[in-house]
Amino acid sequence: MTQPTATSLTNLTERFQLLTERKKAQPRRVEPLDTLPSWPAGMRGTPNACLRSALFAGVQGNERIAYKKRTLLAAVDGIEVRYLGVQLNQSDLDVWMQIVHLSRTQLPGFSVTFSAHALLTALGRSTGKSQHEWLKESMARLGGAFVEITYHGRQTFGEKGFLRYHRDESTQRYVVELTESMLRLFEDGYTHIEFEQRQLLRKHPLALWLHGFLSSHAAPYPLKLQTLYQLSGSSTQNPRDFKLRMRKALQALVTIGALEAFEIDEDVVKVKKQPTPTQKRHLEMTRN
């Protein structure tokens, strides 16, 4: 049997290295999205990337701005969000969360059908003409935005729109398909949002944003007001005004039972969360 020579071994090593380098150079295959996670009817599952960034800003509708170029938005470490289009806010997040909620029992890629009346009612809104027009505007913003999200510098997902839709003008029924890249946000972590609590915060966009942000942390750590200002996408120019708004938002969360207490000490926000229902049951069992 012929023994391999030093030259043949060197050639084999070089070929192996070349194949390895070619494999590394090939784009990583993105596996199809099999299914969405599920959650109880009283919750709304929301990707953490939507809650820990300025993607859905805590601003009023009349405070929206338009990003005319691909713009880096504020986000927590590990997430980069770039956005092009009319600014989204918490009311747009309400619409997207509700549509995702309706789709949670279906396979990705299948459309979901609903009437404008049913969606508005589910969101606790009136169903007059002005609200139907508001929904049309929100759907257009969600469908027209370009979002690009990078996780830990490893993978970037970009897509035009959170959804695609068809609307029957005679019945005002929507057929909606959620875009896969935006559904992939669930793969990097998501949070169950208490829907009833969120309903109580309507018309208070900063409180809504703060509710989602704090819900996505089991034990929120102290944060500077400046950090919260950036992450919430606030349009307030005066730092004292933002501090006042933040205090009101925190108090609103205490009022609805989402927080037990808070303090703002030298422009640092510290909060104490209420235990979740699961934690409460555990505490009761421990006491007994």
pTM of structure: 0.84
pLDDT of residue 155: 79
The strand pair at 190-194 and 43-47 is best described as antiparallel
Reference 246, options 224, 219, 273; nearest CA is 224
For residue 156, name the pLDDT band (cuts at 50, 70, 90): confident
pLDDT of residue 158: 86
Residue 286 clears pLDDT 60, i.e. is over it: no
Residue pair 147/182 in contact by the 8 Å Cβ criterion: yes
Residue 285 clears pLDDT 50, i.e. is over it: no
Taking the C-alpha atoms of residue 202 and residue 206, their distance in angstroms, rounded to an integer, is: 10
pLDDT of residue 152: 82
Taking the C-alpha atoms of residue 23 and residue 37, their distance in angstroms, rounded to an integer, is: 32
pLDDT digits (tens, 9 = 90+) for 91-148: 999 999 999 999 988 766 789 999 999 999 999 999 999 999 999 999 999 999 999 9
CATH number given to 43-219: 1.10.10.10
pLDDT digits (tens, 9 = 90+) for 29-63: 445 566 778 899 999 999 999 999 999 999 999 99
State residue 30 phi and psi, 5-degree precision: -90, 115
Taking the C-alpha atoms of residue 249 and residue 210, their distance in angstroms, rounded to an integer, is: 7
pLDDT of residue 35: 74
pLDDT of residue 21: 58
Residue pair 253/269 in contact by the 8 Å Cβ criterion: no
pLDDT of residue 27: 45
198: left (phi over 0), alpha (psi -120 to 50) or beta: alpha
pLDDT digits (tens, 9 = 90+) for 74-90: 999 999 999 999 999 99
Residue pair 233/52 in contact by the 8 Å Cβ criterion: no
Tokens representing residue 196 in the block? 């009833």
Residue 228 clears pLDDT 90, i.e. is over it: yes
pLDDT digits (tens, 9 = 90+) for 237-279: 999 999 999 999 999 999 999 999 999 999 999 999 976 554 4
pLDDT digits (tens, 9 = 90+) for 186-202: 988 999 999 999 999 99
Reference 53, options 150, 198, 184, 144; nearest CA is 150
Taking the C-alpha atoms of residue 187 and residue 180, their distance in angstroms, rounded to an integer, is: 11
